[in-house]
Structure 1
Amino acid sequence: MQILGVSTDSVEANAAFAQTYAFPFPLLSDTTREICMAYGACSSPNAAQAERITYVIGPDGKIIRVFEHVVAESHVDELLTFLSTSTRSIPPDTLSTTALISHMCSCNPTTDTGRTALDQQQEVNHVHVSESMPTEPEGVISQPSVAAVQAAEFTPTGQAAALSPPMASTAQAPPILESTPSILPAQVHSAQDGMTPSMVYALGALSYDFGTEARRDSIMQHMGAGANPHDPQQLLAYLENNPWDAAAILWTLNSDATPIYVIQPQGPFASDAYRRLREFLKEQLTEGVERVSIAGLIVGQARLFSGLVVPVISPALRCMYSWTTAALAQAVCGDPPSDTATSDEYEAYGQRSEAVGNFLERVYHELRNLGLSPQERAINYAATNALNVERVFESALREEMELDAIEVERSPICRPDSDCWDVKLTFFDPRHQFERARRVYRFTVDVSDVCPVTVGMVRSWSVR
């Protein structure tokens, strides 16, 4: 049996994602949206993401079952129930030509206690475990409203190469594949092949873990009688006098209280990186720091006390920052007006500060990500180093416009040996949104280095 995952992300992004969660199955890149459109998982060729849909394809090339609008947390059980309760099984000698395909949208792993990141990501991305693939009873084909279904062939690079002509949908029967199977293991090459260490630029909150009871108890005994290593204040006080034990703790980067990475400094300046991690944690406790940025390379995996397995980042010290949204907005917009300022100056400053804060909050929550793909690293860096954003909002607010959309796309022009992405902010006039053209501001981020950098000037134009 062949298990395939399909997304509209690039081969590089899929490779990084696969490496992070140690996927044992191929992830295919449908950057042209041909497969996505053919299987009805995209609303248009310009769709940013595919719908979460699982397709079960039989050995004769016919779609046996389609699961639409699946809920990630329960889909694996739903799929296994379907496999175990169907009355007719496919003969074992034909299993190698059976495929289950999932169009995947960007998502974060869940955090069920005791489950590995791989277990969870398989559930989130709608893949199944190795089981015999039964079909439904004779004459029964469960199929949602997919306008047309086509067979897809893939090149060895994982890109969509060609699509066979679609079958016309009829009212009497749902569309199914009548051709022989066209997705075969020999035709599919995983995005994971030939991978190099993935670069990461992730945002989150800092925390820590002990990994095992033995490590926790050891730290607790060294802290002294009555000490509580789970109290960050007590732990920081202990590490102030015993800084070497900072390396005995698993420092984690969390997104909404979910550990997504372990941070493990390496090299000659590891002690400096550990000192900065201690500073970050102290700032979160005493100064209200909300987020930190961690850039680096994925160098392995670590198991947390809960049993969750997450990737390990070897951080780049020069890209480690901490901040509050309010402080970053003030750094971008400047100090508040003086006591002698006019009410108009106060109002203008407040609008600019609020707009910058709104942009940052949208990146943190609406566009939250793992910081693996070039697009994710570009938008995360834009939120961390928002100096270009200040010029954008200052101009947009003068025209009484508000932020509408945040997009990232590959830059058509880039320096040699660079990887440039354009961050585009689109603004609209809420009072005259149908009469007045929207305004687009664009700035470029080069993510070829572990620490991204902005390139060139901010550009703007009007669009309808």
Structure 2
Amino acid sequence: MTALRDIPGVPELWRESTGHPDVVVGVLDGRPDLGHPALRGADIEVLEPRWLGSARDTGPPVEHGTFITAVLFGRHDSATPGFVPRCRGVVVPALRVESDGLDPLNLARSIEALVAAGAHLIHCSVALPTLSGDADPLFKRAVAAAVEAGVLIVTPTGNEGGRTLAAPAILPGVLAVGAHADDGTVFRYSNWGSAYLPHAVVAPGEFEHAVPGGTRRRKGTSVAAPVVTGIAALLASTRVSRGLPADPLGVRDALVATATPCGLTDSAGEPARCLAGKVNLAAAARAAVADDVVPSLLPMPVSPVFALGRLGYGFASRQDRDRFARPEDPRWMAEYLAAHPEAAVALMWTVDVDGSPQHALIPSGPYRADIFAKLIAVLAAQERAVDLVSVAGTAVGTHVRPLGGGVVPVLTLSAPARLSAWSVADRIRTTVAAIAPPPHLVGRVEAALRDFVNAVTGALRNPGRHAPQRALNHTAVDLIPPARAVAFAAARDLELRDLAVVRSPYGRPDSDSWDICLQFANPGDEYRGVTEWRFTVDVADVDPVTFGEPRSWAKRA
């Protein structure tokens, strides 16, 4: 890419707005050369980082700060126009030497100064690698306070070559940015991973722009990040021009929700490198300038999910789909993938209910290859006897859009054992055999247990995102406790009258325990009252677990 105007959708937005004076964009970087022709006369205030003393700004920090600031505020009558020259800029030149970017107190005070100056958006050029997956408490507190105040922080994921974690890109609420080349291929050095995924996109990361004394071509995530800051500021300015609030966090959500997922060819065979996807400016503009960002597109909180359904698949792009001769034939696909397991990464795996995708599954972690093998095996098994699949995954707070379909929330899957598949009829037979009711009751117990599973997967069907939903869904997997209850009821001619999930008084202090309550009554004698059975499920971990013995008592009418 030669210039910012080459980004699809930018010229069209520039015809409506080149920024709005009421939108304030902050920059945390090196000191910019405000005498550069691109920045001369720009409405930029410099807040001196007096806590750093009076050391002189020279060399690479000034070059980097000039480049970033000009990408945002470059005059449109210069050779290097920026995204929002009509916005007001506030710069804290607190990255004078390399060690400044490692000082959490410096970074925290810089963020706080920009928020106090009224910034709606902050471009933070820091990408501080962290082995712990965490950041210094001072820095975290400053970032969290900015997000809480409605300020959008945009920052690069870093260039350490893959799965390196960097702050503040991993912190909740920020908009993290990876980089791709002109042809759309994600740079191999652009950091990626599930820690970024709830709030991260990739953007063009190589072009020529202003530096002291002229221009220079640069590339990397620190080049892609100001592109996204500029786009976000441009969308916020467009909202203000239309009489709407700037809503920078809503703009963030629109950019993540409308991003275009990568295929195999543009992600080195690993679509997760693309994070939530490539910035789709046209789609983001349609979502961001509405009176309200569509609620269904807003990221969910990161949380465990226990979902039931059937395993399905789709494709992120036509290119991925076209690599298969018969992509719509699950039996053919299962046979092909068994012979070519490396092709499994080209599919967008899903948990489906009634043929409609409810969750997209992204294998992650050290067992990624084993998880793909399990997905292939389950897909093949579904063509024979399997009719129910359970997934214990983590909702990472973002969505994908399968080719030809709607928006689907993403679950990361970190171990093969967290994906299970079985025949309901077989599971019921083995469960009833395990509890060994009297022979004359076996048929009735199996029928009652089948009704129970049908209720959980039918009338009480749910996405498994909240604690009581996860507890209920788990009962369709661990059938021993409900089997004992229905065997007791069958021996007394009782039928299931009600099924509920309530907070349990039992469990460890750090548990999240829920009671599954089954009420049985004699259909022919309402005066005999109700018998209630309860068993407890702990959903504190990603994998729910039933503990303790089922409890029962009679409740008089």
TM-score of the superposed pair, with normalisation by structure 2: 0.45
Query: What secondary structure, in the 3-state scheme, does the structure 2 residue paired with 1:435 have?
Result: helix
**Alignment equivalent of 1:286, drawn from 384, 389, 393:** 384
CA distance in structure 2 between the partners assigned to 1:304 and 1:193 by the alignment: 17
Please tell me the residue identity of whatever aligns with 2:318: E
**Alignment equivalent of 1:423, drawn from 516, 533, 553:** 516
1:181-196 matches, within 5 Å, as: none
**Alignment equivalent of 2:463, drawn from 370, 375, 399:** 370
Give the structure 2 partner of residue 305 of structure 1.
403
Cα RMSD of the aligned pairs, angstroms, is: 2.8
Please tell me the residue identity of whatever aligns with 1:444: T
CA distance in structure 1 between the partners assigned to 2:532 and 2:504 by the alignment: 15
Query: What secondary structure, in the 3-state scheme, does the structure 2 residue paired with 1:199 have?
Result: strand
CA distance in structure 1 between the partners assigned to 2:453 and 2:335 by the alignment: 32
Question: CA shift at 1:355, angstroms?
Answer: 0.5
Name the CA shift for 1:211/1:195 in 2 (closer, same or farther; >3 Å).
Answer: closer
Give the structure 2 partner of residue 130 of structure 1.
291
CA distance in structure 1 between the partners assigned to 2:447 and 2:330 by the alignment: 32
Query: What secondary structure, in the 3-state scheme, does the structure 1 residue paired with 2:421 have?
Result: strand
1:218-237 matches, within 5 Å, as: 219-220=323-324, 227-237=325-335
Question: CA shift at 1:345, angstroms?
Answer: 5.3
Question: CA shift at 1:411, angstroms?
Answer: 0.8
Question: CA shift at 1:325, angstroms?
Answer: 1.9
Question: CA shift at 1:336, angstroms?
Answer: 12
- For residues 287-321 of structure 1, what are the alpha-carbon distances to aligned partners after superposition, in whole Å with 9 as ceiling and x for unaligned? 2x111000111123211112411111112432321
- 2:542 corresponds to 1:446: no
- 2:354 corresponds to 1:256: yes
- For residues 139-171 of structure 1, what are the alpha-carbon distances to aligned partners after superposition, in whole Å with 9 as ceiling and x for unaligned? xxxxxxxxxxxxxxxxxxxxxxxxxxxxxxxxx
1:205-354 matches, within 5 Å, as: 205-217=310-322, 219-220=323-324, 227-287=325-385, 289-299=386-396, 300-315=398-413, 316-334=415-433, 346-354=439-447
**Alignment equivalent of 1:436, drawn from 516, 528, 551:** 528
Q: Considering only CA atoms, is the larger Rg found in Structure 1 or Structure 2?
A: 2
The question of whether the paired residues in 2 share the 8 Å contact of 1:336 and 1:349 is answered with no
Please tell me the residue identity of whatever aligns with 1:439: T
**Alignment equivalent of 2:547, drawn from 447, 450, 455:** 455
- For residues 361-395 of structure 1, what are the alpha-carbon distances to aligned partners after superposition, in whole Å with 9 as ceiling and x for unaligned? 00000100000010000000011111111211111
Query: What secondary structure, in the 3-state scheme, does the structure 2 residue paired with 1:430 have?
Result: coil
The question of whether the paired residues in 1 share the 8 Å contact of 2:481 and 2:550 is answered with yes
- For residues 406-458 of structure 1, what are the alpha-carbon distances to aligned partners after superposition, in whole Å with 9 as ceiling and x for unaligned? 100111232121100000001010121x2211000000000000000012110
The question of whether the paired residues in 1 share the 8 Å contact of 2:467 and 2:539 is answered with yes
Question: CA shift at 1:246, angstroms?
Answer: 0.6
Please tell me the residue identity of whatever aligns with 1:373: H
Unaligned runs of at least 5 residues, structure 2: 1-149, 151-241, 246-289
Query: What secondary structure, in the 3-state scheme, does the structure 1 residue paired with 2:528 have?
Result: coil
**Alignment equivalent of 2:491, drawn from 373, 394, 398:** 398
CA distance in structure 2 between the partners assigned to 1:372 and 1:352 by the alignment: 30
The question of whether the paired residues in 2 share the 8 Å contact of 1:379 and 1:408 is answered with yes
Number of aligned pairs?
267
Moved over 3 A (4+): 192-196, 344-347
Please tell me the residue identity of whatever aligns with 2:380: K
**Alignment equivalent of 2:304, drawn from 188, 199, 224:** 199
Query: What secondary structure, in the 3-state scheme, does the structure 2 residue paired with 1:371 have?
Result: coil
Name the CA shift for 1:347/1:279 in 2 (closer, same or farther; >3 Å).
Answer: same
TM-score of the superposed pair, with normalisation by structure 1: 0.54
The question of whether the paired residues in 2 share the 8 Å contact of 1:265 and 1:273 is answered with yes
Question: CA shift at 1:193, angstroms?
Answer: 12
Please tell me the residue identity of whatever aligns with 1:450: V
